[in-house]
């Protein structure tokens, strides 16, 4: 028998040997992977403070001396700082606040029989009239500026928010000087200037400009009264504000 015959294995035997080797190797590998690795604890040295914090030398409270807190003295998070003063704390009394319901000084009103000129009056003068406050005084003045001044006292009825009772209440205190109105220069005013007046709309302003181009300089309102854009009432309102010079 040849010695090589001892190392001869059949295919089935070789397969079994390989499986055995793999099984044994798996045991060693698994033992290494799943074993608990222990490490030695590392000793960390914590530096110690070389000097201890200074202790407070505060003595029990004396009326002659007082202990002032220093930044080096630790405070508890829950403890409230104690206030120690030689003199008793001053009791400050708050100043009284004006009450919301306190009566405001009333605006002094004109006595019965007082009359002022509407176009010359300012807001303060208007507020002296019984029934007129700051809001209505501002509206009356704003409409006067748009008109160019009041020509008739009845124009106050056109002020925004004016109602009959208030109109009848304030008119005895007012008079109107029509000579203080600002008039529109018909022969030179632009289209925008004409239509900016509350009594003239865009189409009426355009009709005046077109008539002016055709006839040249206009001398009187009769040259415009045939325009279909205007009614008779329109001319009654607007004529006092037209200047043909």
> Residue 119's pLDDT band (boundaries 50, 70, 90)?
very high
Are 116-178 and 184-243 in the same CATH fold?
Answer: yes
Sequence ranges of the domains in the chain? 116-178, 184-243
Query: Element (H or E) spanning 21, and its range?
Result: helix 11-34
The residue ranking higher by pLDDT, 29 or 91, is 29
Q: What is the pLDDT of residue 13?
A: 76
* Element at 23 (helix H, strand E): helix 11-34
Largest CA distance in the chain: 158
Can you give the pLDDT at residue 100? 47
b/e per residue 106-136 (b: at least 16 CB within 10 A): eeeeeeeeeeeebbebeeebbbbbeebeeeb
CA distance 145 to 148: 5
Q: Is it the case that residue 139 has pLDDT exceeding 80?
A: yes
In this prediction the pTM is: 0.56
CATH 1.10.3470 fits 184-243, yes or no: no
Report pLDDT digits (tens) over 9-44: 677 777 888 888 888 888 887 777 776 555 555 554
Q: What is the CATH number of domain 116-178?
A: 1.10.150.320
Contacts of 216 by beta carbon, 8 Å cutoff, 6+ apart = none
Encoding tokens for residue 28?
Answer: 């060693």
Computed over every residue of the chain, the mean pLDDT equals 77
């Amino acid at each position: 028998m040849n010695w090589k015959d001892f190392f001869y294995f059949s295919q089935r035997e070789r397969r079994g040997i390989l499986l055995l080797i793999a099984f044994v190797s798996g045991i060693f590998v698994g033992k290494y992977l799943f074993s608990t690795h222990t490490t030695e604890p590392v000793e960390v040295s914590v530096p110690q403070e070389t000097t201890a914090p200074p202790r407070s030398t505060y003595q029990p409270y004396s009326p002659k001396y007082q202990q002032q807190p220093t930044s080096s003295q630790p405070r508890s998070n829950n403890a409230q700082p104690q206030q120690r003063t030689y003199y008793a704390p001053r009791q400050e009394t708050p100043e009284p606040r004006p009450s919301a319901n306190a009566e405001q000084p009333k605006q002094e009103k004109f006595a019965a029989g007082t009359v002022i000129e509407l176009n010359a009056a300012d807001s303060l003068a208007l507020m002296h009239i019984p029934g007129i406050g700051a809001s209505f005084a501002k509206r009356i003045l704003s409409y006067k500026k748009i008109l160019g001044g009041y020509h008739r006292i009845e124009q106050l009825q056109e002020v925004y928010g004016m109602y009959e009772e208030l109109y009848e209440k304030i008119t005895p205190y007012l008079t109107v000087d029509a000579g203080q109105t600002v008039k529109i220069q018909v022969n030179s005013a632009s289209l925008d200037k004409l239509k900016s007046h509350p009594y003239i709309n865009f189409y009426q302003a355009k009709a005046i400009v077109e008539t002016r181009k055709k006839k040249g300089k206009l001398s009187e309102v009769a040259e415009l009264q045939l325009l279909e854009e205007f009614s008779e009432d329109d001319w009654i309102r607007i004529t006092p504000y037209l200047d043909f010079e």
